[in-house]
Amino acid sequence: MRYLPLTPSDRTAMLATIGAKSIDDLFIDVPEVARLDGPVHGLPNHASELAVERHMSALARKNLAAGDVPFFLGCGAYRHHVPASVDHLIQRGEFLTAYTPYQPEIAQGTLQVMFEFQTQVARLLGCDVANASMYDGSTACWEAITMARRVTKRGKAILSGGLHPHYVSVANTMAKFTGDVLVTSLPTFSPEPDTLDLINAIDDETSCVVVQYPDILGRIEDMSALAEACHAKKALLIAVVTEPVALGAIKSPGEMGADIVVGEGQSLGVGLQFGGPYVGLFACSEKLVRQMPGRLCGETVDAEGKRGFVLTLSTREQHIRREKATSNICTSSVLCALAMSAHMTLLGEAGLRRLAELNHVAASAAADRLAEVDGVELVTDRFFNEFTLKLSKEARPVVRALADKGILAGVSLGRLYPDATELQNGLVVAVTETTTEEDVETLASALEEALA
Amino acid sequence: MTINQSGWRPTTPQAGEASGATFTGNRALMLEEPLIFEIGSTETTGVDFAEAPSGKSRLGGLERSKTIGLPGLSEPEAVRHYTRLSRQNYAIDLGLFPLGSCTMKHNPRLNERMARLPGFADLHPLTPVDACQGAFEVIHQLAHWLVTLTGMHSVAMSPKAGAHGELCGVLAIRAALDAKGEQGRKVLLVPESAHGTNPATAAFAGFSVEDIPATEAGRVNLEALKARLGPDVAGVMITNPNTCGLFEPDMRAISDAVHAAGGYVYCDGANFNAIVGRVRPGDLGIDAMHINLHKTFSTPHGGGGPGSGPVVFSEALTPYAPLPFVEKQGDQFVLVEEETAGEHHASSFGRMVAFHGQMGMFTRALTYILSHGADGLRQVAEDSVLNANYILRSMEDVLDAPFAKSGPCMHEAIFSDRGLPEGFSTIDVAKGLIDEGFHPMTVYFPLVVHGAMLVEPTETESKATLDQFIHAFRFVAEKAKGGDLAIKTAPHYAPRRRLDETLAARKPVLVYKEPERAQAAEVPLRS
């Protein structure tokens, strides 16, 4: 029990100070019916560090790690190279093992990082302000929909078919309980997203329109007209970004008129981690800030006039107004926000633009190569680092067969939309700076074989 | 006094100023650190990339034209920036962090090493199921421990944090009631001693919230609770051990009464570390309880997250638990992602998060659990309770301890500001502790105690550390009782003096804005 410092004689001395005969005396309030006399039945006892390490390593080896194979998976989680210093810095004990900065005088490190993160995210997404992170993109997306309801006092949200289906699922789950009306649709193999349909669907009941950029099939489109249409009906435009690296190359949603921009920051600094922890991004215009959920860090001064940072506007939060709270968010994802922020700082504007360019050029070349394969059709010619291929046969078994050969070929739309027959041949392929030309060749020949 | 507005710009000490002022604003090892926006430039980068080959642009006219405004730093500058900032933080690695209800214990580094194995860290959530069996096995093994330790029926792994877990549990209650056609049950009863997130969660899930008062002994008032039960009540959200640090001895009676009235019992399991291995919540009649993995099972909190909040369910609520599920079928682990996929998930209330939950936290928690084993976890509960009672008994003659007579506390000891002279309060004691090198306890929570000070040492503190803390705590409390004005202005030795939180809220400055050109010319920035 290497993590427990008390010795048997410490325990005896402490019990004497307390005036208790045995440890059981301290559990006297537990009713008889609920007391356990010894260690829980059927569970093993403690193990050495070496034994635990062997056990966990054996489990890890049963997985096909992205870096070990030609890898093309995206759809809301992206593999990028993360500089070694990022992981080193987040493992500094003073960051890693700190709590929420409730005592700002001794938490300026975390608080300044939160302030820098808020500024970086606001600039990247093209908005005035951002919060200090949420759980992940999908929960941030739902929070944005509820925020639009509070701002507009309307309950109908229109979700684009290009929005990540898991994000739609999360929103559908929550709407069942809150009474929000969600208008949803499926994506189609059209070269353009469903912007015109969305514009036509906006009415006087609409609180917001939610679009993803780039969307689930990798498509990108100018959302200025959609923003105008929303504003004409006094609805808000919510943009969702699951691949923030794209914003190093393409216009930000804020520039095109989005009122709230949410996203998933995993792709910068955080790593794949089998789905979490990730880092939810949330930004909006200045006039909406008091309706924004989540933690906020603000600048202030200390008693000597020195600049310092504190958690602020917490009257929106759970611990002050209880049932009147804007949301029940308690934790955010500050350590992941630090990872993302440090990665952005290392990249800087010049680095982010170069990274984005590398991604786009590599994806563009890969799309051309894969489209040469018989039985493969490129769905759209406007994308960033992810694109959809329409195969001549169902994609899900192809993906499985290729995984057996050690190639992670992409995400089949059948996995994301098991009930949509018309999408079953779709394969979404993501290409980043970590993808090599050999990887693309390997995938191309494997597809050729599988589709022959 | 010289006003060092930016926190780092050189200031010339004025005549007659305290001798502590320095030219740079630095103090030996404690260095002031500007914002990245003041030291970085958009041309600097700390990452080298290969030259991009020329290729076709398919950005369709959406090329970014405007500058983003992201400053960059070279690697040495970045490492120094974040390292300097880190030194302005208190952390469990530096010392005792006695935040009651927040549970800050040692974070073993083996956990970190295991979470970083490429097989876990570099694994995509949509990897074909056959190629990530080891990851599902981690989830499955952790789920087995959680279900067994709690004596419950099933566990939903996906909730992202404690409060998210609360939401999950409350939604399952709503779904179960709706399935029984009991849409009229709109009220959740929340005792005063519950966590602050509980009422917020209930409201967020569409319930109305009614308080149940606490007894003078700091427990749920059973009679008041029983009197309120009725056909409009969906259930109760209770925290046990509660936020007064006490076990609810009537827990079984509360559960029975709520069940008999047609409701469900939600238990906030944030304080499970106090009873793990000694009490199974399932034996107390609880229907749903979230477990903060970072609290009970030591995953690092990282300055405010990530957390992870799996929810264990009774048999009654299991059919409504959220997707996805990891199940073992023969030798294979499968991922159940749709309501239609299995008959026993047909009534699931749906998906709460995009993927499978906080996998990185699962690997850390499982590593910790295997390290401790069933015997070690039981010792965890015992030592955390022992340490808390040791502090309670060592302080009760100095500070008012409102529930000291109610019996032993569990993992946390509560004190109040009663007995402090006029003008002195909890916040002064807290800030005084900072100068002594300790992170303060939780202050002004729970609300049932005036000027509450909630102290939770956890099981990973040695007796020597506790004794040192007790001495410092007594010293500061006695200074406050003696009306020592110096602690009204504490902390004196922290990186910052007391910060103006009112100003921050009244005029929110949430992002950095470049100073006006004229101002910039007056005070040249470091190039």
Give mean pLDDT, residues B279-291.
96
B415-432 pLDDT, tens per residue? Answer: 999 999 999 999 999 999
Tens-digit pLDDT string for chain A (452 aa): 899 999 999 999 999 999 999 999 999 999 888 899 888 888 999 999 999 999 999 999 999 999 999 999 999 999 999 999 999 999 999 999 999 999 999 999 999 999 999 999 999 999 999 999 999 999 999 999 999 999 999 999 999 999 999 999 999 999 999 889 999 999 999 999 999 999 999 999 999 999 999 999 999 999 999 999 999 999 999 999 999 999 999 999 999 999 999 999 999 999 999 999 999 999 999 999 989 999 999 999 999 999 999 999 876 554 445 556 667 777 789 999 999 999 999 999 999 999 999 999 999 999 999 999 999 999 999 999 999 999 999 999 999 999 999 999 999 999 999 999 999 999 999 999 999 999 999 999 999 999 99
Q: In terms of domains, do A272 and A370 share one? A: no
Closest CA to A350 of B131, B361, B4, B40: B40
| Residue A58, domain member (yes or no) | no
Rounded Cα gap, residues A140 and B354, in angstroms: 11
Rounded Cα gap, residues B461 and A6, in angstroms: 8
Helix (H) or strand (E) holding B334: strand B332-336
Of the three residues A310, A344, A378, the one that is the final residue of a domain is A344
Q: In terms of domains, do A219 and A128 share one? A: yes
Rounded Cα gap, residues A272 and A283, in angstroms: 23
Q: By the CB < 8 Å criterion, does A27 face chain B?
A: yes
For residue A392, give every residue at least 6 positions away whose Cβ sits within 8 Å of its Cβ, in sequence order, or none: A374, A375, A376, A425, A451
Rounded Cα gap, residues A133 and B183, in angstroms: 35
Rounded Cα gap, residues A387 and A389, in angstroms: 7
- Residue A353 belongs to what domain range? 349-451
Residue of B121, B338, B357 with shortest CB distance to A271:
B121
CB A143 within 8 A of CB A327: yes
Structural domains counted in chain A: 2
Of the three residues A310, A328, A344, the one that is the final residue of a domain is A344
Rounded Cα gap, residues A245 and A194, in angstroms: 23
| Residue A115, domain member (yes or no) | yes
Using a CB-CB distance cutoff of 8 angstroms, which residues of chain B are in contact with residue A400? 128, 130
- Residue B284 belongs to what domain range? 141-368
Contact state of A276 with B393 under an 8 Å Cβ cutoff: no
| Residue B34, domain member (yes or no) | no
User: Which 3 state secondary structure label does DSSP give A322?
Assistant: helix
User: pTM (2 decimals)?
Assistant: 0.96
- How many CB pairs lie under 8 A apart between chains A and B? 737
User: Which 3 state secondary structure label does DSSP give A158?
Assistant: strand
| Residue A111, domain member (yes or no) | yes
pLDDT at residue number B527: 38
Q: What's the CATH code of the domain at B187?
A: 3.40.640.10
| Residue B391, domain member (yes or no) | no
pLDDT at residue number A271: 97
Determine the distance from the C-alpha atom of residue B218 to the mean position of all C-alpha atoms in its chain, rounded to a whole number. 23
pLDDT at B524 over 60: no
Q: By the CB < 8 Å criterion, does B500 face chain A?
A: yes
pLDDT at B214 over 80: yes
Given the DSSP bridges, would you call strands A297-301 and A307-311 parallel, antiparallel or unpaired? antiparallel
CB B165 within 8 A of CB B290: yes
pLDDT at B7 over 60: no
Q: By the CB < 8 Å criterion, does B301 face chain A?
A: yes
Q: What is the largest CA-CA distance in chain A?
A: 82
Q: In terms of domains, do A130 and A262 share one? A: yes
Q: What's the CATH code of the domain at A427?
A: 3.90.1150.10
Q: In terms of domains, do A422 and A322 share one? A: no
- Cis? peptide before B324, omega within 30° of 0: yes
**A444, two tokens:** 């191309």
pLDDT at residue number B526: 45
pLDDT at B269 over 80: yes
| Residue A6, domain member (yes or no) | no
pLDDT at residue number A111: 98
Q: What's the CATH code of the domain at A164?
A: 3.40.640.10
Closest CA to B349 of B307, B326, B327, B317: B317
**A374, two tokens:** 């018989």
Using a CB-CB distance cutoff of 8 angstroms, which residues of chain B are in contact with residue A327? 200, 204
Contact state of A318 with B57 under an 8 Å Cβ cutoff: no
More confident residue, A272 or B163: A272
